[in-house]
Amino acid sequence: MPFDRRRFIHALSGIAVSFALALPAQAQTVGKDYTLISPPQPTENPAKVEVLEFFSYGCSHCAEFYPLLSAWAAKQKPDVVIKKTPVSFGRAAWANIAKLYYTLEVTGDLARLDGEAFRAIHGQKVNLFEERAATEWAVKNGVDQKKFTEAFNSFGINSKVRRGDQLQQAYKVDGVPALVIDGKYMAGGENFEQMLANADKLIAKARAEKPVK
């Protein structure tokens, strides 16, 4: 069969177009798909890829994000460590529900009541922003009242809330929910699904940047 130069060029053009169309799906754009954390922040364990979620029980978007994030987190590899950081943005009411989060962590009830706290505030319109109401809700849901009360206003809990706000400022987080990958990148996206997809790519990027053992 004789060589058809035009057909050959047309085939090459098709391959080039296909390749060009495939690139945007893999590439990420700074400022759109993610933002750089400047300066980068140290993580607790450099051998792991750390994912920080900044959130608040008082944030309706965080409530919508919660089940998606939980399902996504369950699929991560063992070298990925996911941590949640409640923030207050200087609001006393949000500081109280940050204290609620850490108090449930101390009493051992967080895994059981984390999602319930979102549902109580946004679905059932329960006022968890005040200590008395939060205590009543926790006790009603099986939390030991003495343990809860002792923890809620403890030095340790208040220190964690302050530390969370310090991290929010260090990472320049101005809205929640926010996902920060390995102290270097903040995932972006037009919706939660895109944010998580970009987080996956940033995790792969951060993993590749780790020193080879």
- Does 23 reside within a domain? no
166-207: per-residue pLDDT in tens? 999 999 999 999 999 999 999 999 999 999 999 999 999 999
> Rounded to the nearest 5°, which phi and psi values hold at 183?
75, 5
CATH code assigned at 186: 3.40.30.10
Q: Is residue 3 part of a domain?
A: no
Please tell me the least confidently modeled range out of 6-15, 122-131, 135-144. 6-15
Expressed as residue numbers, the domain containing 125 is 30-208
* 13 within domain boundaries: no
Mean pLDDT of 5-16: 46
Is the per-residue pLDDT at 107 higher than 50? yes
Domain count, the chain: 1
pLDDT value for 16: 42
φ, ψ for residue 20 (rounded to 5)?
-65, -40
Can you give the pLDDT at residue 36?
Answer: 97
Can you tell me the distance from the alpha carbon of 3 to that of 9, in angstroms, rounded to the nearest whole number? 11
